[in-house]
Amino acid sequence: MKALPKAYFTEADSAEVVTGQNVNAKDARLKQVMEIITRHLHAAIKEIEPTQEEWMKAILYLTATGHKSDDWRQEFILLSDVLGVSMLVDAINSRRPKGASENTVLGPFHIGGTPEYEMGFNICLDGKGEDMVARGRVLDVDGNPLEGVKIDVWQANDEGFYDVQQKGIQPDFNLRGVFRTGADGTYWFKAVRPQHYSIPDDGPVGELLYALGRHPYRPAHLHYILSKEGYDEVTTHIFDPDDIYINNDAVFGVKESLIAEFVKVEDPAKIAEMGFEGPFYWDVKFDFVLAPKT
């Protein structure tokens, strides 16, 4: 065991004195992480110069954040989301070659056991909302179509709620489906145009957003997880460019490469061909590119 350095606490050397106590850490990675966190935390405190009352308020805020968390809701993840940290960690861990589809956050509403359907199935099980067709191709980085790609999709309904948020109101597995690409790499399914929605704002994270003059809304999007053996799994969204929150997503999930085009189709022949009854439907074409697993 190494001897601890002889150093007494001073304001000027606070971070060095604290990290100097970690010389006997059993985990080198933990030691590195805590030294970096301590160094930046002490630098922030020196810049902010909080009062004792302000520091206690910060501690009580974190305590309330923990109290708000349970088996279903993780308020600390929500805090990470609205500070942009979740997206930053995801970006660091999903770096891909240029042209490959980008990741974005998974979100809290993905579930297992979603039924697998034939291409063209309508995943809107309650018939509510504006009809939509989502379609495109899945390619490799050289532009070749990929067969057998598993595409797991889910979305909020036209009121901004996922099925798991409205048990007994929406059918189970409403607006969810699993599809697999054929030899030409194409996919297509029917759904409804999603709407923006609010992240949970009835806790400490919501209080922070409102205190900062921010809103809790996410722009309308469809979720995708695309997976195939030998390729990097992609967890992502595609976004509606006309949504009022497209430029200020509360959790910073929007990336320019993930903005789709929602085209309104009013041709009666095309509407009939798709089996819709309304005066129009939305056509959303978006291609994905998978990078080989490294």
- Judge whether 54 lies within some domain: no
Burial of 279: CB neighbours in 10 Å, binned 0-12, 13-18, 19+: exposed
215/129 same-domain check: yes
| pLDDT for position 24 | 93
| pLDDT for position 72 | 82
- Judge whether 58 lies within some domain: no
pLDDT at 292 over 90: yes
97/235 same-domain check: yes
- Judge whether 74 lies within some domain: no
- Judge whether 136 lies within some domain: yes
Cα–Cα distance between 121 and 189 in angstroms, integer? Answer: 5
147/285 same-domain check: yes
- Judge whether 71 lies within some domain: no
Which structural domain, as residue segments, surrounds residue 23?
9-49
89/156 same-domain check: yes
26/143 same-domain check: no
Instruction: Give strand ranges (E) for the chain.
Output: 131-140, 150-155, 176-180, 186-192, 197-198, 217-218, 221-227, 234-239, 262-265, 281-285, 288-290
93/29 same-domain check: no
142/218 same-domain check: yes
- Judge whether 99 lies within some domain: yes
pLDDT in tens, 224-282: 999 999 999 999 999 999 999 999 999 999 999 999 999 999 999 999 999 999 899 99
Mean pLDDT of the chain: 96
247/148 same-domain check: yes
- 67: helix, coil or strand? helix
| pLDDT for position 22 | 94
- Judge whether 4 lies within some domain: no
Those residues with Cβ within 8 angstroms of residue 237's Cβ, 6 or more apart along the chain or in another chain: 104, 221, 222, 223, 224, 253, 258
pLDDT at 205 over 90: yes
197 strand-pairing partners: 218
- Judge whether 185 lies within some domain: yes
User: What CATH number did the domain enclosing 157 receive?
Assistant: 2.60.130.10
pLDDT in tens, 31-50: 999 999 999 999 999 999 99
Those residues with Cβ within 8 angstroms of residue 66's Cβ, 6 or more apart along the chain or in another chain: 75, 76
**Mean pLDDT for the stretch of residues 77-95:** 96
**Mean pLDDT for the stretch of residues 15-21:** 95
215/277 same-domain check: yes
Are 149 and 140 spatial neighbours (Cβ–Cβ below 8 Å)?
Answer: no
The distance between the two most distant Cα atoms of the chain, rounded to a whole number of Å, is 83
Confidence band for 142, pLDDT divided at 50, 70 and 90:
very high
Are 292 and 232 spatial neighbours (Cβ–Cβ below 8 Å)?
Answer: yes
Domain count, the chain: 2
Q: How is residue 269 annotated by DSSP?
A: H
101/194 same-domain check: yes
